[in-house]
Amino acid sequence: MSHHEFSGVTVELTVGDITAQPDADAVVNAANAQLRTGGGVAGAIHRAAGPGLADECAPLAPISPGQAVITGAHGLPNRHVIHCLGPVYGSDEPSAELLASCYRTALRLADEADLGVVAFPAISTGVFGYPVRDAAAVALRTVARAAPDLTSVSTVRFVLFDQRALDAHQAALADVSGDA
Ligand code: ADP
C-alpha cells in the first residue's frame, strides 16, 4: 500500500475489492445513470449490499455524468455508499472535467456527512473505457486540490482491481506529490 499526505488528508493506494473495505465509512460506486445493479463495481456493490440499496436508489435516479448521490450501505460493512456517474470516454465531454466532478462531489458529500475514510474504485476505467493512466492523473490531481477544503475526511483510499491500475495510480500520485 502506498501513502501520501495532502493538506492533512492521507491518500492510500491498494489492490483489492471495493466491497471488502470494512474500515471505510463510505465506499464509492462507479454507478450507472439509473443507479441500478450492473457489471463491474455497481454489480459487486449491489450484490453485497442487497436489494435494499436498489430500493433506496430508485427515487434518486437518474443522475448525470459528473454527479454523485449518497445513500445508506445496507448489507455492506460501511456507513454509506456514494454513487458517482463517471463519463463514458469519448462520448460524455469534457470527460476530464466530468471525471474530476465525480471525485470532487463525492468528497464534498462525504465531508458534509462527517465521514473520515472514503474508498474509491477507478471510476470510468472499466466499461466506460477511460484510459486508466489518464483517469488516474485526473483522480489524484482532483483529490490533492480538494484536500485543503476537507474538514472531516481524513483518508482517501483508491481500491484498484489489478496491478496495472495500481501502477497507473502510483505514477499519478508521484506526479501530483512532486507538484505539491
Ligand atoms: P465504469 O462503468 O465507471 O467504467 P466499472 O465498474 O466498469 O465502472 O469499472 C471501474 C473500475 O473498477 C475498473 O477498472 C474495474 O476493473 C474495477 N473494478 C471492477 N470490480 C471491482 C471491485 N469489486 N472492486 C474494485 N474495483 C473493481
Which DSSP helix (H) or strand (E) runs through 155? strand 155-160
Residue 10: left if φ>0, alpha if ψ -120 to 50, beta else—which one? beta
How far apart (Å, rounded) are the C-alpha atoms in residues 25 and 119?
8
DSSP 3-state of 118 = strand
Rounded average pLDDT over 142-156: 98
pLDDT at site 23: 98
Could you tell me if the CB of 87 is within 6 A of ligand 1? no
Of all residues in the chain, what percent are helix, strand and coil, respectively (each to 5)?
40, 20, 40
Nearest to 35 by CA among 45, 20, 48: 45
Identify any residues that bridge with 84 across adjacent strands, giving them in sequence order: 30, 68
Decide if the complex's ipTM is over 0.85: yes
Ligand 1 binding pocket includes 65 (Cβ within 6 Å)? no
So what's the pLDDT on residue 1?
A: 74
* Residue 67 pLDDT exceeds 70: yes
Tens digit of each residue's pLDDT (9 = 90 or more) over 5-49: 999 999 999 999 999 999 999 999 999 999 999 999 999 999 999
Side chain identity at residue 56, one-letter code:
E
Q: Where are the alpha helices (DSSP H) in the chain?
A: 40-49, 51-57, 95-112, 132-146, 163-179
Q: Any idea what DSSP says for residue 13?
A: E
Instruction: Answer yes or no: is the C-beta of 121 below 6 A from any ligand 1 atom.
Output: yes
User: How confident is the model at residue 146, as a pLDDT?
Assistant: 98
Q: Output 12 or 2, whichever has higher pLDDT.
A: 12
Quick one: pLDDT band at residue 87, thresholds 50, 70, 90?
Answer: very high
Best probe residue, ligand 1, of 29, 41, 88 (max atoms within 8 Å of C-beta): 41
Q: Which three cell numbers stand for residue 113?
A: 456527512
Is the model's pLDDT at 69 over the cut of 80? Answer: yes
Average pLDDT over residues 111-139: 98
Q: Is 9 helix (H, G, I), strand (E, B) or coil?
A: strand
Task: State the closest ligand 1 atom to the C-alpha of 132, by its place in the atom list counted from 1.
Answer: 14
Q: 178 pLDDT band (50/70/90 cuts)?
A: confident
Q: What pLDDT sits at residue 179?
A: 63
